[in-house]
Chain A
Amino acid sequence: MANIVVFLCRCFGEIDNTIDFDLLRKELSKDTSVSSLSIVDSLCLETDIEKAAFKINESKADRVLIAACSILSRGNLPVNGLIKEGMERHKIGLVDIREGCAWIHNNDSDGAVKKAKDLLNMGISALQHKEKSEDMSVTVHPDALIIGAGPAGLAAAASLAKTGFKVNILERANAPGGMLRLISQLYPTGEDAANKLNPYIDEVENNPLITLYPQSKIVSIEGYVGNFTVQFASQGKDNSIQSGIIIIATGAKIFFPTGLYRYGEIRNVITQMEIERQFLKGSFDVKKTVFIQCAGARNEERPYCSTICCPASLKNAMRLAEEDPGSEVFILHRGIMTPGNVLEKYYRDALSRGIQFIRFEEERPPRIMGDDHVESVEVYDAVNGITRKIETDLVVLSTPLVPNDDNARLAQMLGIEVDRYGFLSEIYPMHPLETKMDGVLICGSARWPVASDQAILQGKAAAMKAVSYLRQSEIAASTLSRVPGPKSGHARVVPDFCTGCGNCVAACPFDACHLEKTKGRYISKVDMMRCKACGNCVSVCPNGSMQIPEHNYRMVGEMIKWAF
């Protein structure tokens, strides 16, 4: 027979006039599982909790039920207090008789008392069946793994190295730098991209803590936070490294608008990237240039705004204007996207430099005239409502960044998700840069198109989040909670009962369940490092062989039984 100590908190008489505590005492005294019952004025003060703890030890109780205010107001105080005093969480029950009862039924005292009694019965019966989940912990491998040596990856590597952690970087190309290497200058400062990139590259080359694996391709990723094992091939050699966390900084891909605006069909229709290359080669003279924005973006296929194309066009337009003051530059756009004070000023500068902006509509895109090379661009000016013909000898298409082709594969290997466009997605809500898998962080254009400065910022941020994992020597599964407070537990399988139907595997949002074949039959296994105790597996399990001990079916059954 259970031995439960019950505390009824009057909240300093706050709820006396609704709830008749003597009646409750009488009712509960019949219950043989209640060893002692005390009505107290308060339970949320240090001293109260000490007193309670003393009483519990004194009466050798194995469980304690607290009837007080809701867990969201002050109910958590006695609970946590008692835990501090050495009591186990699953042995403490909290019943909300203030917010949940007295305060909302103050005009129906009888009903309130009946309810309080039922709630207490529910609490008592539940407490008797509450169990404790197993826990596990992994020793954290102190190295970090970064996939992608673009600005984001490099920045992350640098800051991790600075905090003293060993970093491995896997880069697909044969040299670090990512897309930044293709760009001559950066907006809005106009400084050379190289200046920004080189310090990081030096860091990577010279810092003994950082190892770069160029020309590498990932074969497989296994494990979970604290201990990932990554198989990969670098420069043709198979290789394997361990790491505590993984930062994904694989960036994005440039979109080639073949077929759009006769790109690839006639000369002098090029993309931003090509003009950047030109600038890297040196200057070139064009009298009239037309930039066309949103080439292949913000349409049916790619509804999103790539965010970096408008500033980029402004940058290059102004550069052309600078290099040849006599030249004319047009920007045909569907609304210039320059958020923030800095970029907005950038746009105004462009205006003052005489760059001409013409807004067109998606339905009526500009038309490129000319036979083998561009002669003019015909565009319907949506603002003035007239069609204009612009003589030009160069058309530059602003194309969006698109996700890498192998994002899906990568996500699948890591057990994370990609969004509807194919960019890697972080979890909702309130967990920037974090993914469904603990210890897998994303930054830079891999998660969303960003300019280099943003990428670097995110890289550093990711590094800091990584540190929060890496500095622990051990990580307990129970601490990997996605919600305020600790995890509510872990799902537990009763192997003899499991039929191996795989419902849990299909239903688990965190891929924490998998089937293992033993003696000719499949049995579900729960990976505690991944399990977040949402309980989906429990409610799809046909015969209850999957349970969350802290909220098992016997508890629920009992509570329902005593509800009225």
Chain B
Amino acid sequence: MGVLESRTQIIVREVKMNQPGILVFACKWCGLIGADAAGKKRVSLPARFRVISVECAALVETDAILRALAGGIDGVAVLGCHIGGCRYTNANHASIKRFELLKDLLDTTGIGGKRLLLSFGTAHEYHQFEEIIKNFFDELAVLPPLDPWLSPFGVVS
């Protein structure tokens, strides 16, 4: 099973279109509300982003973010509540700290911390959500492709 899954992933990766793809982890109490509001307002956004709703940004594992990048997804956005505005008493603080450290790691390797967008408490209005997503698409568009890290076939032949 394991091998099967991971392989399908490679296939998925290969049919990927050139426009960057974004995975959004939206906290139910901020990001998701923003996303929903954007929907209600029928603002038009590029289609290549997917939202996974979570109870709290604290539930987003850094490993999941890396897994997403490894799966050929160009950028990951984590939308949570304000510092102090967390519905789970500061649960989001630790996650902010983690993700910013992860940005460091991504910068170290040249993948670029830019691929991880953190927005805490600023996405709970439709226009904020719209703005964040659109800007993120633009930012990713100019980043070098992740390919050297995905399919290691960089040889003359």
Interface of A with B (CB < 8 Å)?
70-73, 96, 98-101, 103-108, 111-112, 114-115, 118-119, 122, 427-429, 436, 482-483, 488, 507, 509-510, 532-536, 538-540, 548, 551, 553, 556-557, 559-564
Counting chain A CB atoms within 10 Å of each CB, the highest count among B29, B38, B58 belongs to B58
User: Using a CB-CB cutoff of 8 Å, which residues 48-67 of chain B contact chain A?
Assistant: 48, 50-56, 58-64, 67
Which residues on B sit within 8 Å (CB–CB) of A119?
50
Q: Kindly provide the distance from the CB of A125 to the nearest chain B CB, expressed in whole angstroms.
A: 10
Cross-chain contact B64 with A557 (CB below 8 angstroms): yes
Question: Of B16, B35, B87, which contacts A100 at CB under 8 A?
Answer: B35
Question: Of B12, B35, B51, B88, which contacts A509 at CB under 8 A?
Answer: B88
Q: Kindly provide the distance from the CB of A110 to the nearest chain B CB, expressed in whole angstroms.
A: 8
Cross-chain contact A563 with B44 (CB below 8 angstroms): no
Residue of A nearest to B29 (CB): A483
Partner-binding segment picked from B68-76, B109-117, B141-149 = B68-76
Cross-chain contact B35 with A115 (CB below 8 angstroms): no
Which residues on B sit within 8 Å (CB–CB) of A118?
50
Q: Kindly provide the distance from the CB of A489 to the nearest chain B CB, expressed in whole angstroms.
A: 8
Having A72-B33, A104-B45, one finds 13 other A-B pairs with CB under 8 Å, namely A105-B46, A107-B44, A488-B55, A509-B89, A510-B88, A534-B86, A535-B91, A553-B63, A556-B67, A560-B64, A560-B67, A563-B23, A564-B12
Question: Of A72, A101, A509, A551, which contacts B32 at CB under 8 A?
Answer: A72
Question: Across the A-B interface, how many residue pairs have beta carbons closer than 8 Å?
Answer: 154
Q: Does B3 make an interface contact (CB < 8 A)? A: no
* Complex: A488 Cα to B88 Cα, angstroms: 12
Question: Of A105, A112, A122, A564, which contacts B72 at CB under 8 A?
Answer: A564
Cross-chain contact A561 with B8 (CB below 8 angstroms): yes
Cross-chain contact B40 with A103 (CB below 8 angstroms): yes
Question: Of B28, B38, B98, which contacts A539 at CB under 8 A?
Answer: B98
Q: Does B156 make an interface contact (CB < 8 A)? A: no
Cross-chain contact B59 with A561 (CB below 8 angstroms): no
* Complex: A122 Cα to B89 Cα, angstroms: 30
Which residues on B sit within 8 Å (CB–CB) of A533?
55
Which residues on B sit within 8 Å (CB–CB) of A534?
55-56, 58-59, 86, 88-89, 91
* Complex: A114 Cα to B71 Cα, angstroms: 17
Question: Of B45, B68, B98, which contacts A560 at CB under 8 A?
Answer: B68
Q: Does B47 make an interface contact (CB < 8 A)? A: yes
Which residues on B sit within 8 Å (CB–CB) of A482?
87-89
Question: Of B5, B8, B61, B90, which contacts A553 at CB under 8 A?
Answer: B61
Cross-chain contact A548 with B59 (CB below 8 angstroms): yes
* Complex: A90 Cα to B52 Cα, angstroms: 16
Q: Kindly provide the distance from the CB of B111 to the nearest chain A CB, expressed in whole angstroms.
A: 17
Question: Of B39, B88, B95, which contacts A103 at CB under 8 A?
Answer: B39
Cross-chain contact B55 with A561 (CB below 8 angstroms): no
Q: Kindly provide the distance from the CB of A425 to the nearest chain B CB, expressed in whole angstroms.
A: 10
Question: Of A428, A539, A557, A560, which contacts B95 at CB under 8 A?
Answer: A539
Ordered by A's residue number, 26 sampled pairs between the chains whose C-beta atoms are within 8 Å are A70-B36, A71-B53, A96-B51, A100-B39, A103-B39, A104-B43, A104-B44, A104-B45, A108-B46, A111-B47, A122-B50, A427-B89, A428-B89, A482-B89, A483-B29, A483-B55, A509-B90, A509-B91, A510-B88, A534-B55, A539-B61, A539-B62, A560-B23, A563-B21, A563-B23, A564-B71
Which residues on A sit within 8 Å (CB–CB) of B23?
560, 563
Question: Of A112, A427, A507, A510, which contacts B94 at CB under 8 A?
Answer: A507
Q: With A72-B33, A553-B64 in contact, do A564 and B21 touch (Cβ < 8 Å)?
A: yes
Question: Of A428, A488, A561, which contacts B12 at CB under 8 A?
Answer: A561
Interface of B with A (CB < 8 Å)?
5, 8-9, 12, 16, 21, 23, 28-29, 32-33, 35-36, 38-40, 42-48, 50-56, 58-64, 67-68, 71-73, 84-91, 94-95, 98
Which residues on A sit within 8 Å (CB–CB) of B43?
104
Q: Kindly provide the distance from the CB of A410 to the nearest chain B CB, expressed in whole angstroms.
A: 18
Which residues on A sit within 8 Å (CB–CB) of B8?
561
* Complex: A105 Cα to B42 Cα, angstroms: 8
Cross-chain contact B39 with A563 (CB below 8 angstroms): no
Cross-chain contact B55 with A428 (CB below 8 angstroms): no
Cross-chain contact B16 with A564 (CB below 8 angstroms): yes
Cross-chain contact A536 with B89 (CB below 8 angstroms): no
Counting chain A CB atoms within 10 Å of each CB, the highest count among B21, B32, B59 belongs to B59
Cross-chain contact B58 with A99 (CB below 8 angstroms): no
* Complex: A539 Cα to B92 Cα, angstroms: 11
Q: Kindly provide the distance from the CB of A431 to the nearest chain B CB, expressed in whole angstroms.
A: 10
* Complex: A473 Cα to B132 Cα, angstroms: 48
Cross-chain contact B59 with A539 (CB below 8 angstroms): yes
Cross-chain contact A114 with B47 (CB below 8 angstroms): yes
* Complex: A427 Cα to B88 Cα, angstroms: 9
Cross-chain contact B47 with A536 (CB below 8 angstroms): no
Q: Kindly provide the distance from the CB of A247 to the nearest chain B CB, expressed in whole angstroms.
A: 20
Cross-chain contact A536 with B61 (CB below 8 angstroms): no
Cross-chain contact A560 with B71 (CB below 8 angstroms): yes
Cross-chain contact B85 with A510 (CB below 8 angstroms): no
Which residues on A sit within 8 Å (CB–CB) of B42?
103-104, 106
* Complex: A130 Cα to B61 Cα, angstroms: 17
Q: With A70-B39, A99-B39 in contact, do A564 and B48 touch (Cβ < 8 Å)?
A: yes
Q: Kindly provide the distance from the CB of B107 to the nearest chain A CB, expressed in whole angstroms.
A: 21
Residue of A nearest to B93 (CB): A509
* Complex: A556 Cα to B73 Cα, angstroms: 14
Question: Of B46, B58, B91, which contacts A111 at CB under 8 A?
Answer: B46
Counting chain B CB atoms within 10 Å of each CB, the highest count among A71, A72, A556, A563 belongs to A563
Which residues on B sit within 8 Å (CB–CB) of A562?
12
* Complex: A72 Cα to B29 Cα, angstroms: 10
Counting chain B CB atoms within 10 Å of each CB, the highest count among A71, A99, A104, A114 belongs to A104
Residue of B nearest to A119 (CB): B50
Which residues on A sit within 8 Å (CB–CB) of B68?
560, 563
